[in-house]
Amino acid sequence: MPSDRHRETPRITPYLVSPSKPAGCVMVCPGGGYGGRAPHEGEPIALWLNSIGVSAFVLDYRVAPYRNPCELMDAQRAIRYARCHAREFNIDAKHIGILGFSAGGHLASSAGTHYDGGRPDAADPVERASCRPDAMILCYAVITFGEFGHSGSMVNLLGPDPPQDMRVLFSNEKQVTADTPPTFLWHTEDDAGVPVENSLLFALALRRHKVSFELHVYKTGRHGLGLAPGDSHVGAWTQACGEWLRKLGFMN
C-alpha cells in the first residue's frame, strides 16, 4: 500500500477566464517522470493560457508508487468532469484540450489515444461524458517505451521490467488512429532527457493517419524548460501554440 505521504487524491485546480460566451479550456499535466509534478509546468502554464483567453485546469494526477491505470484514469476523469460541468465553468464542451510536459506529455498523449465516448447508462453523470480531448499539446513529451523511451517514466508507470505488450500499448505513437485529436508538439533537438525522436515518431504517426498536427523542433535547449523564460527562441512556442489554438476555435 502507498505510504501516508503518497495517499493522494487526484484533483483539478481551475483557472477560468470570464468571456462573454463559453471559452475553450485546456487540462494541464505537469511533468516529473511519473514520480512527481513540476510546479513550473503547472500554474504558470494555466496563467499563460488565461492570458490568451483560454480557461485551464491544472491536474494533480497520481504518481509513483501509484501505477497504471491510475494516472490515465485521473486524466480521463478530469476531462469527463470538465465536459460534464462545462456550463458551470463557462467553458465550451466541444473545445477541451490537454497539455503535458515530459511524462505529463505521455499522460496527455495517452488520454488522446486511449479514450471512450462515455457510458450513457452510468449512474454517475460524469461517467456519461466522453473522455476524448479535442486537442493535444505535447511539450518535450515522453511518447514511446521503445528504442527512444524514457526508462524512468516507464518504470514508475508500469513497474520494473514490464511485459512487452504493455510497453507497446503505452508507446503511444503505435496507438494513433484517424480519430486521434489534432496535436501541437514541440521539442528541442538536443534534449538530453527525452530524445526528440519521441515527438518525431508521434508526428510521423499522425501524418500517416492524416491527423492535423503542428511540430516545432528548436535547435538547442535543456529538458524541462516549461515556458522557457530567458530563451526568446524556444519561448516562442507559446505564441505559435496560441495561434494554433485560435485556429482550432479555442478562443472567442
- What's the confidence (pLDDT) of residue 1? 34
Output the tens digit of pLDDT for each of the chain's 252 residues. Answer: 344 444 579 999 999 998 889 999 999 999 999 999 999 999 999 999 999 999 999 999 999 999 999 999 999 999 999 999 999 999 999 999 999 999 999 999 999 999 999 999 999 999 999 999 999 999 999 999 999 999 999 999 999 999 999 999 999 999 999 999 999 999 999 999 999 999 999 999 999 999 999 999 999 998 999 999 989 999 999 999 999 999 999 998
The CA angle 19-129-186, to the nearest 5 degrees, is 65
Contact predicate 111/131, CB 8 Å: yes
- What's the confidence (pLDDT) of residue 127? 98
- What's the confidence (pLDDT) of residue 5? 44
- What's the confidence (pLDDT) of residue 7? 54
Residue 86 CA from chain centroid, whole number = 19
- What's the confidence (pLDDT) of residue 3? 41
Distance between CA atoms of 103 and 152, rounded to whole angstroms? 9
Q: Which CATH number fits the domain 4-248, given the four candidates 3.20.20.70, 3.90.470.10, 3.40.50.1820, 3.40.1620.10?
A: 3.40.50.1820
Distance between CA atoms of 202 and 217, rounded to whole angstroms? 13
Distance between CA atoms of 71 and 77, rounded to whole angstroms? 10
- What's the confidence (pLDDT) of residue 6? 46
Domain boundaries defined on the chain: 4-248
Residue 6 CA from chain centroid, whole number = 22
